[in-house]
């Protein structure tokens, strides 16, 4: 048992090393297997002859990274090559990001699998569902594992009990600092040329927050987009229903007036986009249409298609990629499965938070049903 554990930990660290360009003579990765109350660490020694790895029981005094796993995670790594649940980790960012890339990210084969699954779907509309009418297990099977988007109409009880307004955002959240996309960010998105500025949220709201979309404007309205949610906001946010809370901590917020836009792109994580204030109109394009859209790979988790406008019926691709349009109202959450292209437009002042699920997409890696609920 113990020696099997040593072999597993040795193999995990061996897998992490190629993407961690470490020049130090020694690296130590501490593991804790919570449910077995076991600790062991892997020591990597580097000499001019190469790297050697050894596994020791117990706790190391100064590990470079500490990773907390469970017996189920170790079994998943051995059988599926990935973990399905959230994993607590601290320490060296390159080691942790190597662990995420290797054991918690979708592979190229997984991406192809999602494109294949969605090829046979025929639906001109996105289902609107209620948490009262569907169990978590049904949601995971019908939507998450099938890579099918859905709007959940009643998933935000905290927001409903205490609605947000622009005034309340200004007074309670105004100190948060935000990066604001400016200039022609739709054309320049994800490029080095994209202009941004740092502001306090209250300053952004004062200078750009209200006002109506002006169709004559040459550039889109500045957008406080994709900012990491401050930790204290997690105290009042409504987390997505149906999935374990531990998966929901990678959250971003989006605030802007009517006319702010995120052009067509796709993320390779399952995602819930929750609408706290205002309304958004969203065009969705199925993953299997990727060949029509020629996406530009920004990084392993993000592809951009910002030159395709699915809201423009005359655009040469729009007629063939069958966009599905969704209106997301305050109090609703859109489940956006990994790999679905989306173009998002605010049709009023809007405040949204999105939650990327910290696991390999359900469509590729099913849940461990024993720990789902
Ligand atoms: O709300 C937006 O403008 C974009 C949201 C988005 O792209 C996402 O949730 O992945």
Q: Is the CB of 254 under 6 A from ligand 1?
A: yes
Mutational test site, ligand 1, from 262, 280, 283, max ligand atoms within 8 Å of CB: 262
1 pLDDT band (50/70/90 cuts)?
low
Task: Kindly give the number of the ligand 1 atom that is closest to the alpha carbon of 354.
Answer: 9
For residue 346, the ligand 1 atom closest to its alpha carbon is: 3
Q: What is the pLDDT of residues 339-372, one digit of tens each?
A: 999 999 999 999 999 999 999 999 999 888 776 5
> Which residue in 283, 270, 327, 286 sits closest to 153, CA to CA?
327
Question: Given this model, what pLDDT does residue 210 score?
Answer: 65
User: Quick check: CB of 334 below 6 Å from ligand 1?
Assistant: no
Cα–ligand 1 centroid distance for 364 (angstroms): 22
Expressed in angstroms and rounded, the spacing between residue 354 Cα and the centre of ligand 1 is 7
What phi, psi does 30 have (nearest 5°)? Answer: -90, 135
Determine contact, residues 29/63, Cβ cutoff 8 Å: yes
- Nearest ligand 1 atom to the CA of 352 is 1
The pLDDT-based confidence of 84 (bands split at 50, 70, 90) is confident
Please check the confidence at residue 79 and state whether its pLDDT lies above 60.
yes
Q: What is the pLDDT at residue 318?
A: 82
Please identify, by atom number, the ligand 1 atom nearest to the C-alpha of residue 252. 9
- Cβ of 352 closer than 6 Å to ligand 1, yes or no, is yes
DSSP 111-164: HHHHHHHHHT---SS-EEE-GGGS-HHHHIIIIITTT--EEETT--HHHHHS--
- The stretch 329-348 carries a mean pLDDT of 97
Q: Which domains does the chain have, with CATH numbers?
A: 2-103 (3.30.1050), 110-372 (2.60.120.650)
Atom of ligand 1 nearest to the CA of 342: 7
Reported as a single tens digit per residue, the pLDDT across 96-110 is 989 998 999 999 999
Q: Binning pLDDT at 50, 70 and 90, where does residue 268 land?
A: very high
Nearest to 283 by CA among 299, 306, 300, 258: 306
| pLDDT confidence tier of residue 217, bands split at 50, 70 and 90 | low
What integer best gives the mean pLDDT of the chain? 92
List pLDDT tens digits, range 153-202: 999 999 999 999 999 999 999 999 999 999 999 999 999 999 999 999 99
Q: Is ligand 1 within 6 A of the CB of residue 269?
A: no
């Amino acid at each position: 048992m113990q020696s099997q554990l040593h072999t597993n930990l040795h193999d995990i660290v061996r897998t992490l090393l190629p993407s961690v360009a470490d020049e130090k003579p020694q690296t130590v990765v501490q593991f804790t297997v919570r449910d077995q109350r076991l600790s062991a660490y892997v020591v990597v020694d580097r000499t001019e002859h190469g790297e050697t790895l050894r596994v020791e029981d117990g706790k190391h005094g100064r590990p470079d990274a500490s990773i907390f796993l469970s017996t189920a995670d170790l079994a998943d790594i051995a059988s599926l090559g990935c973990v399905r649940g959230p994993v607590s980790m601290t320490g060296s960012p390159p080691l942790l990001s190597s662990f995420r890339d290797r054991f918690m990210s979708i592979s190229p084969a997984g991406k192809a699998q999602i494109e294949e699954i969605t090829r046979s779907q025929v639906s001109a509309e996105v289902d609107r569902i209620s948490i009262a009418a569907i169990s978590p297990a049904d949601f995971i099977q019908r939507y998450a594992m099938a890579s099918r988007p859905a709007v959940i109409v009643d998933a935000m009880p905290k927001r409903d009990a205490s609605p947000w307004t622009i005034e309340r955002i200004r007074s309670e959240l105004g100190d948060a600092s935000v990066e604001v996309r400016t200039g022609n960010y739709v054309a320049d998105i994800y490029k080095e040329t994209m202009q941004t500025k740092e502001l306090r949220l209250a300053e952004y709201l004062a200078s750009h927050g209200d006002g109506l979309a002006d169709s004559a404007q040459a550039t889109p309205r500045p957008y406080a987009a994709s900012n990491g949610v401050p930790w204290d906001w997690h105290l009042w946010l409504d987390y997505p229903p149906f999935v374990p809370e531990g998966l929901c901590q990678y959250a971003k917020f989006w605030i802007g007036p009517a006319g702010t836009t995120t052009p067509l792109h796709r993320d390779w994580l399952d995602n819930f986009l929750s609408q706290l204030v205002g309304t958004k109109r969203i065009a969705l394009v199925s993953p299997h249409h990727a060949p029509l859209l020629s996406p530009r790979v920004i990084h392993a988790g993000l592809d951009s298609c910002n030159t395709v406008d699915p809201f423009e019926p005359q655009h040469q691709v729009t007629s063939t990629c069958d966009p599905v349009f969704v209106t997301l109202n305050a109090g609703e959450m859109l489940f956006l499965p990994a790999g679905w292209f989306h173009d998002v437009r605010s049709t009023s002042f809007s405040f949204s938070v999105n939650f990327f699920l910290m696991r390999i997409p359900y469509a590729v890696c099913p849940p461990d049903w024993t720990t789902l609920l």
